[in-house]
Each structure stands twice: as structure tokens, then as C-alpha cells.
Amino acid sequence: MSTERIIIGRNSVTEALRAHRTISKIYTVEGNTAQPVQQICDLAAAGNIPVEKVAMNVLNKLAPDSRHQGVIAIAPPIAYADLSEVLAGAAAKGRVPFLVLPDGVEDVHNLGAIIRTAECAGVDAVLLPKRHSAPINETVSKTSAGAVEYMPLVQIGNITQTLKQLKKQGFWVIGADMDGVGDYFHSSLTEPIVLVIGSEGKGISHLVKETCDVLVRIPMFGQVNSLNASVAAALLMYEVVRQRQGE
């Protein structure tokens, strides 16, 4: 199964089916007749996807240490999107492009939550560095509530080179950083944007920080001096949404 991925959880499997992802097989725990599981079986039947009812220990072996909710799907690996095609699609729709780049986010739960918010906020693509980034695994998929099935994910090599190329195409690179020059809600976010989110603890890496056009901060008034990376990302993404809807 090394060339395949597993999708765990009712929401993730349901969204994969709704997105018409290629799925070779679905396993459900025997005896589970709950409505969400029946919906999965109905969607699978409509797509001619086999469903096998198995004992719980079989699912536990397929997804050890995972909360699979009694449902697992077997699918090909995530197909990464092409950035030029993503931007061409945005242009065709007359959209001002909006990209999100997690820099050094290696926690799968944070990455899944960022992808989920990005999909909800209408982000055109999430750019994922090949190095120092959480893998797109079953936990990311489940934490994203199935958003990985809809959100274009673009794998990139060198972050600074990618950002420099995007800047030549008219993008404004915004970095979220505690040492930012101004609060995020006082910054103009209506242009084509790449929003860079740093990891918890380390933040944005030094070279990437130097490549950003502007660094913005989220004001802190409590004793804790930073937010969870996915929470910070959500605040910034929806500030972009707010400003663009107010145009």
C-alpha cells in the first residue's frame, strides 16, 4: 500500500466521494448502520466503489493511532496542482489571486486546519514546500474535514525563489510575524497576495522574512505572546476576505 494513501473519518471520506476522487476501496466497521456511514455506502455504490465491512481490529491495523471513526478509504496519493494553471484559472474567473504559503509548518493538525480555512476562505492554492512541511497524510486530510479534496495544493522547491518569481508577476508577499511593522487589519490586502504563515515557535525563516514585502503582526494583549499557527492563519485569511468584499 506504499503507493496509496488512506483517507480516514466520515467527513474526509464523504468529501473525497463528493469530489469524485479515485477510490479503489472503502472499509467500514461491521454493524455500523449510522446515517453518515450509510450515506458513504450510497455514494460509493453510485460510483461503483466496493465497500467491505470488516471488524474494528482490521481498521485499527490499517490506521493505527488514528481516529478513523470506523471508516477508511484507499486512494491514490494526492495529485499536486500546477501553479501556472491555478493562476490561469483565477485570471479566467476575473479573481484577484490569493495564495497561502505555510513556512516550516510541520504539525499535521496545524496544516490540516490551515488547508480547511483556506478552502473556506476561497484561497486559490496552498503552496507546500518540499522540505520542512508536514506530509499530506490521513491526519491532515481528517483535520481539514476533507478540504484537501477541493483545495489546490502546489508543491514548491525553494521558498524564496518561488516568492521572487511571484513578486515578478505582481504578487505582494505578506508575512505574519510578531515583529511586524503594523497590525494586520491596518494593512492593504486587496492586491494579488501570497500570505506566508510561519511555524509555531520558530516563525517565518530568516531568508523568507527578508523576501516578504511587508511583515504584519497580530496584536497580543494577554500573557501568552503567540497564537496557534492555524488560528493566526485564519485571522489573516479572513481579513483578506473582509477587505476584498468591502471593495
What per-residue confidence (pLDDT) applies to 224?
Answer: 74
Tell how far CA 50 is from the center of its chain.
28
H or E element in which residue 129 lies: strand 125-129
Domain ranges of the chain: 5-75, 83-245
Who's near 209: CB < 8 A, 6+ residues apart?
175, 177, 203, 215
**C-alpha–C-alpha distance, residues 243 and 174, integer Å:** 15
Q: Which CATH superfamily is domain 5-75 in?
A: Ribosomal protein L30/S12 (3.30.1330.30)
Sheet with 172-176: strands ordered across: 153-156, 125-129, 98-103, 193-198, 172-176, 214-217, 182-183
Grid coordinates belonging to 202: 520558530
What per-residue confidence (pLDDT) applies to 1?
Answer: 40
User: Is 127 within 8 Å of 101 (Cβ atoms)?
Assistant: yes
Tell how far CA 151 is from the center of its chain.
7
Amino acid found at 184: Y
DSSP lists the bridge partners of residue 73 as: 7, 26
Grid coordinates belonging to 43: 455514494
Burial class (CB in 10 A: 0-12, 13-18, 19+), 136: buried
Q: What share of residues in the chain are helix, strand, coil (percent, to 5)?
A: 40, 20, 40
Rg (CA), the chain: 19
**C-alpha–C-alpha distance, residues 76 and 80, integer Å:** 12
What per-residue confidence (pLDDT) applies to 187?
Answer: 84
Sheet with 5-8: strands ordered across: 5-8, 71-75, 25-29, 51-54
Angle between helices 35-46 and 10-18 (to 10 degrees): 30
User: Is 46 within 8 Å of 14 (Cβ atoms)?
Assistant: no
What per-residue confidence (pLDDT) applies to 93?
Answer: 93
What per-residue confidence (pLDDT) applies to 246?
Answer: 75
pTM for this prediction? 0.89
Q: How many residues does the chain have?
A: 247
What per-residue confidence (pLDDT) applies to 53?
Answer: 93
Residues of the chain with pLDDT under 70: 1-2, 247
DSSP string, 174-198: EEE-TT-SEEGGGS---SSEEEEEE
Q: Is 83-245 the same fold as 5-75? A: no
Pairing of strands 214-217, 172-176: parallel
Give me the CATH topology for the region 83-245. Answer: Alpha/beta knot (3.40.1280)
